Structure 1
């Protein structure tokens, strides 16, 4: 796995939060965010979708795991319950491209956090890791063709 160290600008997003097992939390969050942004015609060709995994499921009890489904949308319109605004903090990140099913992302995280990071000379920052989903519609993409950038905040 090739890892690049990159500087990212802060990114304003709309987001929805899901809780529980990551697969269920993600489905819940995306199921709330995407109908809102599509229904209000807020998706543009340059819109980026991002998932923020806040917790390590090996440490955090499943009931306390949080996942944010995000889209880089800047709008002043009133937001419904469950959709909020926030900024993903900019700074230095280790970025790796994961190819394949989302269910295999945990293997990439394990490699990045347990092997690459300790050997890299960098330290983990106190910001959440996140994923940038590069496929326009993952529901219509074969799992083996999915491309996801994983970002680990470092200093």
Structure 2
């Protein structure tokens, strides 16, 4: 059995590598440089990442780039396919189109013209019970600028509610250990579960201590949830499952809003944690936006 100290170090390296990939997805990511920053070999970094994330680094980079692109193609009406390819780290439009078609079985243009609906339907048919996309009240949307948030988190591969509940129970124990009274519970959606197979989605359960205090237990990885411009929606129990709301926000509200989105993740701040409190949803959903 792997010693706890070694395991914690490996988890930290894998998490920091994943965060680096997300933050630099529009660039040519240098794995040699990344390994050097951890003072380990490139081969060792690949081994650690595969053990912790269940996927090798290059596959992960490719998957994230294509998932980001699939989302931007739907929401950024004023961006060309070439511009979206560049936003996701592709220097060649032809290589992007080839990779996209291999992943989604259609070209970016076909996807943009409605092909995504068929793909999305297959995902939701296999996961949720609703027959059609519900309508949500868009009259109360707020446009705000957020500040950076310092978070302690647990990352999960797979948008699986049962597994997410376990992660939140672990975080709840961490909160009690640190005797935190004033904090935010944040669910971060790195992928759009409406167009990404749920087993491939990365979800992060996070705690943001709102007051600076000396933590008694710091064994969780920490990071910065970057601030920026967001459209904020309040969602409640009647809105059922967050995945449906994400689909509505990205596929219906955003294309008609006059805004575009970015490669930053969306997230929810939970006023009641629906993973721990009888599945009742009471949260604010933050959708990253920019002027088109």
TM-score normalized with structure 1 length:
0.82
Separation in 2 of the partners of 1:70 and 1:4?
A: 23
Higher helix share: 2
Instruction: Specify which of 106, 111, 128 is matched with residue 248 of structure 2.
Output: 111
Q: Report the CA distance between 1:135 and its aligned residue.
A: 2.3
Cα 1:137/1:57, change in 2 over 3 Å: closer
Separation in 1 of the partners of 2:163 and 2:279?
A: 21
Q: In structure 2, what is the equivalent of residue 10 of structure 1?
A: 148
Q: In structure 1, what is the equivalent of residue 268 of structure 2?
A: 131
Q: Structure 2: which 5+ residue stretches go unaligned?
A: 1-136
CA RMSD of aligned residues (A): 2.4
Aligned-partner SS, 2:285:
strand
Q: In structure 2, what is the equivalent of residue 67 of structure 1?
A: 203
Aligned-partner SS, 1:107:
helix
Q: Report the CA distance between 1:88 and its aligned residue.
A: 0.9
Higher strand share: 1
Q: Report 1 or 2 for greater relative contact order, CA contacts < 8 Å, sequence distance ≥ 6.
A: 1
Counterparts in 2 of 1:72-91, with a 5 A limit? 72-73=208-209, 74=212, 75=214, 79-80=218-219, 83-91=220-228
Q: Structure 1: which 5+ residue stretches go unaligned?
A: none
Decide whether the 8 Å contact of 1:96 with 1:151 is kept in 2: yes
What number of residue pairs does the alignment pair up?
149
Instruction: Specify which of 165, 172, 191 is matched with residue 55 of structure 1.
Output: 191
The structure 1 segments of at least 4 consecutive aligned residues displaced by more than 4 Å after TM superposition are 74-78
